[in-house]
Structure 1
Amino acid sequence: MAQIELHPDFKDFLRLLNSHGVEYLVVGGYAVGYHGYPRATGDMDIWIAVNEANAAKAEKTLRDFGMSERDVTKDLFTAKDKVVRMGVPPVRIEVITTASGVDFDDCYSRREIIEIDGIPVNFIALDDLRVNKRACGRHKDMEDLEHLP
């Protein structure tokens, strides 16, 4: 597994997710890097569980991170196919409620928890990441698949 360097904003956000007990997984480019193919990425993708309890925790997390009450409501996290973007690349965080080809609960049960600078971080497992990348089917996803172990 690759050593991961995180921007301070990413660390702060991950700490908040953990302190509020949000069920989440790091997916996308940072997960690809963790699993052995470090590459440039414009954001950190955070996939969260879609349920009422997790939505309330996610709402609190985003407010504590600095989003205004009018910009973030629990409703953003109670339906599939939602995306909340914060920041600008390369320090953008995208909170998503759906990941192609995979089920959150199944992936969460197989998550890999690693510590980065003292912060426990939930990553999607390699096999689940592969399924997700195949389902996405974009050129960069296919390239990621070629380079993953």
Structure 2
Amino acid sequence: MHYSESILHIFKIFNRNSVECMVVGGTAVSFYGYDRLSTGPTGEVVATPDFDLWYNPDYTNYYHLLDALDELGKNVSKYRDEQSTDPRNAFFRLNFDDYTLDLLPTLAAPLRFSVAFARRNVFQQDGVEISFISFDDLIQGPLLGQKTKTTLKSYEKFDRHSLRSRFDFP
């Protein structure tokens, strides 16, 4: 599956299941005009992209998320059966053939999900809405290195259409 097809597939299923989430990290950086390759824990470039999604860690949304992950083909029965579920601490790293999906309940930044979600940017392709963290919230966040933040801040006018070229959207 191609990069653009992967993210469209994810969001089509997440939207159908009413999951509140938004793209953060390297894919969001690309949306704002600066390509950054996916890297592993030790900084090496990896062959498959990873998508970092920040999700609303309330209970209702958590169970919507589990429904979506089930539809994506992941076995989530152990999460449904937990006696003391705490969505605020439920980090998921899911490996698929063509990408890795990291689902983050929180960010190590002074951002509340509800506030950031209200400021998000929404891109639509083929009837699928894809939510991205706002530019201002992105450059405050902990998912970016200082070099990337400095580069993004130095853009007088960032290219909001770069997502189309990055993902081969028309």
TM-score interval (norm. to shorter):
0.7 to 0.9
Asked if the contact 1:22/1:57 (under 8 Å) is kept, the reply is yes
Instruction: Quote the residue 1:94 is aligned against.
Output: 102
CA distance in 1, matches of 2:97, 2:147: 21
Distance 1:10 1:73, change over 3 A: farther
Match of 2:146 among 139, 142, 149: 142
Which residue, 30, 42, 56 being the options, matches 2:63?
56
- Where do 5+ consecutive residues of structure 1 fail to align? none
When structure 1 is superposed on structure 2, of 88-97 and 40-49 the one drifting more is 88-97
Does structure 1 conserve the Cα–Cα contact (< 8 Å) formed by 2:21 and 2:55?
yes
Q: 1:80 and 2:88 equivalent?
A: yes
CA gap 1:74/1:142 in 2 versus in 1, 3 angstroms? farther
Superposed CA RMSD in Å reads: 2.4
Deviation digits for residues 67-125 of structure 1 (CA, Å, limit 9, x no counterpart): 11435438698432432111169611111101121210110010100123442100000
State the identity as a percent: 22
Residue aligned with 2:122, SS: strand
Q: Distance in 1 between matches of 2:65 and 2:23?
A: 14
Match of 1:18 in 2: 15
After TM superposition, the structure 1 stretch with the greater mean CA deviation from structure 2, 115-124 or 29-38, is: 115-124
1:111–1:125 CA contact under 8 A, matched in 2: yes
- The higher-RCO structure (CA 8 Å, 6+ apart) is 2
Give the conservation status (yes or no) of the 8 Å contact 2:17–2:68.
Answer: yes
TM-score normalised over the length of structure 2: 0.72
Larger % of strand: which? 1
Give the equivalent residue in structure 1 for 2:124.
115
CA separation of 1:146/1:20 partners in 2, compared to 1, >3 Å: closer, same or farther?
Answer: same
Report SS of the residue matched to 2:77.
Answer: coil
Q: Is the 8 A contact 2:69 2:76 kept in 1?
A: no
**C-alpha deviations, 1:42-85, integer Å up to 9, x for none?**
40001100111101110100001101143543869843243211
Gaps of 5+ in 2: 39-48, 156-170
Q: Which has the greater radius of gyration?
A: 2
TM-score when scaled to structure 1? 0.82
Instruction: Write the distance in 1 (CA, Å) between the matches of 2:22 and 2:134.
Output: 9
How many residues of Structure 1 are paired with residues of Structure 2 in the alignment? 140
Contact 1:20 1:57 in 2 (8 A): yes
Which residue of structure 2 lines up, in the alignment, with residue 31 of structure 1?
Answer: 28
When structure 1 is superposed on structure 2, of 104-113 and 84-93 the one drifting more is 84-93
